[in-house]
A = this chain, B = another copy of it.
Amino acid sequence: MSDKRIKIVEKIFDANDRLAQQNRQRFDDSNTFAINLMASPGAGKTTFILATINAMLDSNVRIGVIEGDTAPVTIDSDKIAAAGMPAIQVNTGGQCHMDALMVESALEQLSLEELDLVIVENVGNLICPASFDLGTHSKIVIASVPEGDDKPYKYPNIYRGLDVLIINKIDLLPYLDFDMDYFRQGVEMLNPGLETFALSSKTGEGLESWLTWLKNKLPQ
């Protein structure tokens, strides 16, 4: 890579980090916990968010969702809106990740003061999103068991910077060759002691531990 190109890339990262810091300040000022949710395409991000929303309906927790997609679709934001929560759809224009500027623009359309939790559903991708701080408090990855047990070994960067790991679709384990020990060993190597919840967003199995963790993070 030429010196010129390296400098331009550095400038992009610097600008993103500054904006991310501003986003974090806005979340803090309004006492809103913010999550950057990352995963492969089809790991079950939206279904996981919906399961979380539905499980907390009785608790008066207000959840806003920012939906990032590479195409101009509203499939996911429509589902969130149907569940009764505010959802902002962001079109990344083909880019393989959300950035802090996209989150800043989405925040203009959310009444942050009324929200206890904001979840940014990142673009389905295990590589690009790892490099961009969005200004959230917690970075969470969903690994779904049909993807196989070797993903931490193949996509180490995204596991390194992680705060919480969700192992999703455990209802499919009986039908898969998924070696949980091998998977967890890979994760432990990259991110020792990482907070991990194994669950099925579909059946609700294992969801309770995740909800307990989340409730402890929300404004009391």
Please name all residues of chain B whose beta carbon is closer than 8 Å to the beta carbon of A171 when the two chains form the complex.
175
Please name all residues of chain B whose beta carbon is closer than 8 Å to the beta carbon of A71 when the two chains form the complex.
153-157
A73-B153 in contact given A5-B8, A175-B172 (Cβ < 8 Å): yes
Please name all residues of chain B whose beta carbon is closer than 8 Å to the beta carbon of A219 when the two chains form the complex.
none
Question: B155 and A124: CB pair below 8 A?
Answer: yes
The answer, among B5, B94, B123, B126, for a CB contact under 8 Å with A124, is B126
The answer, among B8, B69, B144, for a CB contact under 8 Å with A4, is B8
The answer, among B125, B148, B154, for a CB contact under 8 Å with A69, is B154
Using CB atoms, name the residue of chain B closest to A5.
B8
Chain A contacts to B: CB under 8 angstroms:
4-5, 8, 40-42, 44, 69-71, 73, 75, 94-96, 123-128, 144, 146-148, 150-151, 153-157, 169, 171-172, 175-176
The answer, among B8, B95, B147, B169, for a CB contact under 8 Å with A41, is B147
- A sample of 19 inter-chain contacts (CB < 8 A) reads A5-B8, A8-B8, A40-B41, A41-B126, A42-B146, A44-B148, A71-B153, A71-B157, A73-B153, A94-B127, A123-B127, A124-B154, A125-B125, A127-B128, A128-B128, A146-B146, A146-B172, A171-B175, A172-B176
CA distance A73 to B153 in the complex (A): 7
CA distance A91 to B82 in the complex (A): 43
Question: B124 and A42: CB pair below 8 A?
Answer: no
